[in-house]
Chain A
C-alpha cells in the first residue's frame, strides 16, 4: 500500500512539479559529469582533456533527460502540458501572425456556428413546455391543419393524454388608446396550456375550465409585456381590448420562450380559439388548428400513433372526411421532422453549412500556409531539436498542439462573433408577417459543434505542416542553404493556395447563381399587375366603426374610385403572395356534368366586385361579381382556367354548378373564368383556384384589404388614398404591390444575401493566401531576380516572371473550381426558380472574372516589390 502511495506521489510530483523534477534531473546528471571529470583528472589528465573525455563518454545530456522523462509513466500528459506552455510562448512571440491566424479561424468558425445556431434555433430547439419529450406533432391526410370535429374527437378519445390545437393564420386588432394595432396571435384550443404546460412568469395560463366560464382570456408574451405594456407589474387581471371586446390578461410568459410551432415563431399573445376571432373555422371541415398531443405516461410514440390512428380512421369515416382518416405524421416536437416546410428549411440550412465550412477550409488553408512559412524559417531549429534527441512524434505533437491553441483561440473568438451576429440579427426586422425570435444560447449541441470545429481546424491547419516538419531530413537541413529545404514546403503551400482559389470560385459561382435567381424570381410574372397596384390593409378603430367591416370597406372603395388617378378599386379578404394569401383546400367536390364527386385541390380567395380589374387579371369569359352578389342572392363562384382545364375536362364550365360534398346543400353557379395567376408562392406552376364573393361569405372576415389600381405610379397616389381612407374613419397600412409581396421573395433574398456574404469572405481569405505565397516567393527569389536584372532583364520580364508564377496557381484553381462548381451546383437546382440553370454560363464566366480580378489585386503589392528590386542592394546583402 505504502509503495502505491509513494508511486502516486512521485507521479504527481513529476506531473505538477515538472520544473523541479527537470531541475533535479539536470543537477543529478551534471554531478555525474563532474565526478567523471574529477576521476579523469585524478588519473592524470589535464583539465581540458578530462572535460572532453568525460563529455564523449557521457553523450547528450538532453537525450538522457528525455529518456528519463519518458520512463516516468505520466510523460504523455506532461508532454502535453509542456507543449501547451511552449505553444503559448511561441504564439505570443509572434503576435501578428497569431492574430492573423486566429482571426482567419474566427471568421470561418463564426460563419459555421452562426448558421448552425440558426438551424438549432429554427429547427431543433426544444419548445418551452413541461416534459417536451412526451409532446408530439400530429398531422393527417388533410395536411397541417385538422378540422374542429377532428380535434374534438382526437382529444376526447383518450388515445393520448390530451390533444391541443393552435393556429396563427388570423390577425386581430388590439386597441391601444386611439390606435388600432394589428397583431398575429396564437389562437389556441382552450386546453392548450393544460396539455402543453407552457411556463408562465406571472399569473397563469388559461385552462379549459376558465375558457368554459368566459372565453375572454389572454396570455401575453414577455416581449409584448415589455414593449407594449411598459413591463407593468400589475398587469395580470387587467384587460386588453381585442376586436372591440375586453380580454382579461391571465398570465405573462417568461422571456425567451420557444414556441411550440418551431421555426422561431414567438407569438405576442395567446387567445382562446373561437368563432369570433377566427371566422373561417365556422365552415364545416374547415382547417381549424394544428395539433400537438401529449403521450400518456409510459406510452411510446409508436403506441400513441397506433391508438390515435384507430380514432382517426373512425372519425374520418363518420365525418365523411377522407383526409382525416389517416395520420400522416406523428413526431416528437423539437426534433427532426418529415414536414415539408421543415425539410425545405433544413435542406437550405445544410447547403449554407456546407458553403460556410468551405469558408472555414479556406481560412484554415491560410493558417496552414502561415505555419508552413514559419516552419521553413524555423527549419534549422526543428532539425536541431531532432538532432539532439527529440522524437519526430513529439515534434509533430508539439506543432499540432500549437495549432490546437490557435484553433481554440480562434473558435472562442468565433463564438463571440456568433453571439454578436445574433445581437445584430435581433435588431433586423425581416419582412415576415409573424413574430420570429432567435436566441443564442450555448447548449450542448453548440458545444459539440464548437469542439468539432476546433478539431477540424486544428487538423486542417496543422497536420500538413506538422508532417512536413516531421519529415525534415537532418543533415541537409543543417548543412544546406535554405533553398533546398524550402522547395518542398513551397510546393505544398502553392497547392494550398490553388485549393483556396478552387473553393472560392465555387463560392462565387454559387453566390452569383443565387443572385441571378433573385432577379429572376423578382421578374417572374405572378399573373397580376405588380406595378400599378396599391395594397391597403384596413383596420378600423373598434367601437367607432363597429365590426361591420364589409359595409365600411364598400364605402371606402366607393370613395376611392372617385379619387383622380385611381383606375379601379376593390376589396378582398386576402392578397396573393402575402401571408394573407387565402387558403388552399383539398376536398371532395360534386361537379355538375362529371358524375360522382371527385377529389379537388385548389386555392380559394374571397373577393369583392372589381377585384380582377384592380389586380389586372384577365376575365376570360362570363362576368365579374357585382354588388348584387351578396348574402341572400344565388351562390356564385368564379374559377380560373386551370380549374376548368383540370376538373371540367373539356366541358364548358360556364353556368354549371359545383359544391363541396357535405357542406351547404346549395351549390354555387360558375359565372366566369379568369386567367391563371400565382397564389401562395412564386415557385408554384399552375394551381387551380376559385373565387367567391366576399359579401356572400357566411362569416364576416376580420381583415379587409383594398386593392387600388392606379393609372400612374402607385407611390404618387399614396397621400390621396390615405386621406380618403382616414376620412372614411379607418386607418390603413399602405404599400405598393411590389413591396407587399416582398415576403414571397424572402427565401431568394436570404439565399443570395448569405451566399454573397460567404462568397466575399471566402474570396478575401483566398486573396490573403495568394498574397502570402506570392510575397514569400518574391522574397526568396529576390537574389535570382536581382541577378536577372543585373544581367539586363527588363522590368517587364521580371513582371512576367512573377505573374506567370502566380497566374499558374490561379489557373489551376480556376479549372478545378469550374469542374467542382458544376458538380456542386447541379443538386442545388431544386432551390432555383424556373429559368435559372444551375450551370448558368454567364454566372460561371462572371465568377471566373471576379476571381481573376481579386487575384490580380492580391498580387499587386509583391509584384511591385519584385519590379522595384535594386540588384546592388540585394546582392550585397547575401
Chain B
C-alpha cells in the first residue's frame, strides 16, 4: 500500500490521460486497455488506478459520467476535459523529451 513514487505516478497519469483520450471509458476498461496495448507488460492494479482516476477528476482533467456498459452494467466512465486535453499534450511533450534523453544516454554513453 506504499504510495507510488512521483515518477511512477506521473507516468500512470500520462497512461490514463492517453487511454481516456479516445473517448469515454470506465475504470475496468482503462486497466484492461493499458494491459493489452502494453502486451501484458503494464498491469495497473485497482489500488493505484482508482485513486489516480479520482485525483485526476479532482484536478479537473477528467470528466466523469454514468453510462451503461455493453454488458448492461452501470459504470462510471471518464473522458478528457478541455483542461485534460491541454495537460495530456503537455505531459506527452515532456515524456517525449525525457524518454528521448534517456534513450540518448543509454545508447551513446
Contacts and interface: CB of A to CB of B under 8 A. Distances in A.
B90 interface: no
B51 A3 contact: no
Contacts of A29: 46, 50
B73 interface: yes
A31 B81 contact: no
B47 A31 contact: no
B41 to A, nearest CB: 17
B47 A7 contact: no
Interface string A70-106: 1111000000000000000000000000000000000
A594 interface: no
B95 interface: no
Contacts of B76: 24, 27-28, 31
B97 interface: no
Contacts of B47: 59, 63-64, 67
Nearest to A69: B54
Contacts of A38: 71
Contacts of B54: 25, 68, 71-72
A59 B46 CA distance: 8
B73 A35 contact: yes
Contacts, number: 77
A6 B29 CA distance: 25
Nearest to A29: B50
B43 to A, nearest CB: 9
Chain B CB within 10 Å — which of A29, A31, A38, A73 has the most?
A31
B58 A72 contact: yes
Interface residues of A, number: 30
B26 A67 contact: no
A1 to B, nearest CB: 11
A35 B75 contact: yes
B34 to A, nearest CB: 14
A34 interface: yes
Given A35-B73, A71-B54, A389-B1, A7 B28 contact: no
B60 interface: yes
B71 A6 contact: no
B24 interface: no
Contact of A32 (B46, B55, B71): B46
B10 to A, nearest CB: 15
B73 A7 contact: no
A35 B69 contact: yes
Nearest to A10: B58
Contacts of A39: 32
B91 interface: no
A31 B75 contact: yes
A58 interface: yes
Contacts of B29: 35
B45 interface: yes
A482 interface: no
A389 B76 CA distance: 24
Interface string B11-37: 000000000000000111100100000
A809 B12 CA distance: 59
Given A38-B71, A72-B58, A59 B28 contact: no
Contacts of A68: 50-51, 54
B60 to A, nearest CB: 4
B57 A28 contact: no
A31 B46 CA distance: 12
A54 to B, nearest CB: 10
Chain B CB within 10 Å — which of A3, A58, A71 has the most?
A71
A36 interface: yes
B67 to A, nearest CB: 10
B89 interface: no
Nearest to A389: B1
Nearest to A74: B58
A71 B55 CA distance: 6
A67 B81 CA distance: 24
Interface string B55-83: 10111100000000101011110000101
Contacts of A28: 26-27, 50, 75-76
Nearest to A61: B46
Interface string A181-204: 000000000000000000000000
A58 B45 CA distance: 7
A71 B1 contact: no
Nearest to A70: B51
B81 A64 contact: no
Interface string A1-26: 00110110011000000000000110
B92 to A, nearest CB: 20
Contacts of A24: 76
Interface string A24-67: 11011101101110110000000000000000011100011001
Given A28-B27, A35-B73, A58 B46 contact: yes
B100 to A, nearest CB: 30
A31 B51 contact: no
A71 B58 contact: yes
Given A32-B28, A35-B73, 6 more contacts: A7-B59, A7-B60, A10-B58, A32-B26, A64-B51, A67-B51
19 contacts: A3-B60, A3-B81, A3-B83, A10-B57, A25-B54, A31-B69, A35-B26, A35-B28, A35-B75, A36-B28, A57-B46, A64-B46, A67-B1, A68-B51, A70-B51, A71-B54, A71-B55, A72-B58, A73-B58
